[in-house]
Amino acid sequence: MKYTTLPHTDIKVSKICLGTMTWGNQNTQEEGFEQMDFALDKGVNFFDCAELYPVPATKETYAETERIIGNWFNKTGNRDKVVLASKIAGTGDYTAHIRTNGFCKEALNEAVDNSLKRLQTDYIDLYQLHWPERNTKMFGTRDYVHNVNDPWVDNFNEVLHSLDEIVKSGKIRHVGISNEGAWGTMRYLQESQLHNLPRAITIQNAYSLINRVFEVDLAEVSHREEIGLLAYSPMAFGVLSGKYIKGTAADNARLKLFPRFARYSGEKATEATKRYLKIAEDNNMSLAQMALAFVNERPFVTSNIIGATTISQLEENIDSITISLSEDVMKAINAVHAEIPNPAP
């Protein structure tokens, strides 16, 4: 395993982070336990979860993923071996079964306290805001379109003051953001600098061969402001395994169970995936390992959040850390990207 540190801290984390959003839906507690045991044995010490998980989010399965992790901590006593990240759910119809008062002080305190109980721990190493509260660019949209009727009022300072109290209480160590844009990221950083408030040290956004939108402006923010990307969906819901193109996807594969998650399955994304599959095969790699190695090697990536439903998938994903992409492979990848840029924003 390769390791780095969370920016502005001395916390060492594995370059591969274990994603958990299938536990409690596609995966049982027993399978979640098996994945955590396996990942930890392979040197993965960074686990990411959220109160929203598992996904698809429902009232019936709300926070089951955190409960599974907490039960594993209780069973194994491995809390001190894991750097743990979780998130408060953002606002919207998708999360209305959780709460509807956004990131106000009461919501943040409630969310943290309940996560700690489920996770059976006294602290969370990295606590993240899962979504912006304001209307901004969302999944599947390429451009920002301003909504003059957006009721949101600038509350960056208020949110950071609330998080500051929670940090000082010892319940969380550091804060991060997720699914943010460049403007929101800079506003959080500006408020923290001007008012000596907790600094966002990471940003968790989608990033993969078929979604390199992060490179447009956030990559520069990441480098210049030292806020590390925690890349999620590096496999694009399994599309970048090639199994849907090859017709080898199991009946319980994510996009067979939940066909509405079509973000990465459009015509252009499929064409790009076919080309990336050929590059991988021509260079004696699986597409999955090439896709993950690509993300692992980006200089703005602090950790690559991988997820799996089987141990064999998990092993292949973790082993991507041993692969280095040649200059020729990178040229071939970038040639596809130039012809079909960001087909799955």
Compute the C-alpha angle 102/134/112, nearest 5°. Answer: 30
Could you give the 3-state DSSP secondary structure of residue 75?
helix
Distance (Å, whole) CA 333 – CA 252 = 30
Task: Answer yes or no: are the C-beta atoms of 268 and 274 closer than 8 Å.
Answer: no
Instruction: State yes or no: is 127 an active-site residue.
Output: no
β 301-306/46-48 pair status? unpaired
Q: Which residue has the tokens 């409690």?
A: 24
Instruction: Spot the catalytic one: 53, 127, 207, 232.
Output: 53
Q: Which residue has the tokens 């090439």?
A: 290
Distance (Å, whole) CA 235 – CA 207 = 9
Q: How many CB atoms are closer than 10 A to CB 7?
A: 18
Query: How many residues does this entry show for the chain?
Result: 345
- Secondary structure (DSSP) of 264-277: T-SHHHHHHHHHHH
Q: One-letter amino acid identity for 121? A: T
β 3-5/12-14 pair status? antiparallel
Could you give the 3-state DSSP secondary structure of residue 184?
helix
Picking from 71, 171, 61, the residue whose alpha carbon sits closest to that of residue 120 is 71
Picking from 210, 254, 240, the residue whose alpha carbon sits closest to that of residue 22 is 254
Q: What are phi and psi of 269, to 5 degrees?
A: -65, -40
Cβ within 8 Å of residue 167, ≥6 positions away: 173, 174, 175, 198
Distance (Å, whole) CA 82 – CA 73 = 10
Structure tokens at 185: 């990221």
- Give the active site residues: 53
